[in-house]
Amino acid sequence: MANTVLIAEYDNWSSKVMADELMANGYATLRTRNGGKVVEIARRHRPCLIMMDIKLPDIAGADVARALKADPELRDIPVIAVTPCSMRGDKEVNLAAGFDGHVCQPISISSLLQAIDQTLSAAAGCQSAGPEPQISNPRGG
């Protein structure tokens, strides 16, 4: 679904903040706290982008990113790692794990939008945000 971002984030507040900012900038959002449901939701809704916490409670974000990249139907969906960036080299580790982009927490709105713009501009088949998104919000656990 063009202009739709799937947010896989365990923390409800962080997920809501990201969703609110994305919607204010023309994106529709889907949200889940459950890493095990990301592939299922991506298959059903075909988001243009996935923002994923690297430390989901049920499965590591890198494992989900690898599963997405191994799926011929989903491998072209860009995935951005959302991480605390506590260690030097975190970005390189996440990119090597299969993520297409990287954003540090706490997330500033400008860094969030910049990471999305950079990642989408490098991805085939994605469109920039439009003025009238459709809103969908499966809770996913």
What's the confidence (pLDDT) of residue 95? 77
What's the confidence (pLDDT) of residue 91? 74
CATH of 4-122, one of 3.40.50.12780, 3.30.420.110, 3.40.50.2300, 2.30.110.10: 3.40.50.2300
Q: How far is the CA of 9 from the CAs of 19, 56, 60, 121, 124, in angstroms?
A: 11, 7, 11, 23, 25
What's the confidence (pLDDT) of residue 32? 96
Segments making up each domain of the chain, as ranges: 4-122
Tell me what the pLDDT averaged over the chain comes to: 83
**pLDDT lower than 50: segments of the chain:** 128-138, 141
What's the confidence (pLDDT) of residue 84? 80
Q: For residue 50, how far is the Cα from the chain centroid? A: 2
8 Å CB contact between 30 and 136: yes
pTM above 0.85, yes or no: no
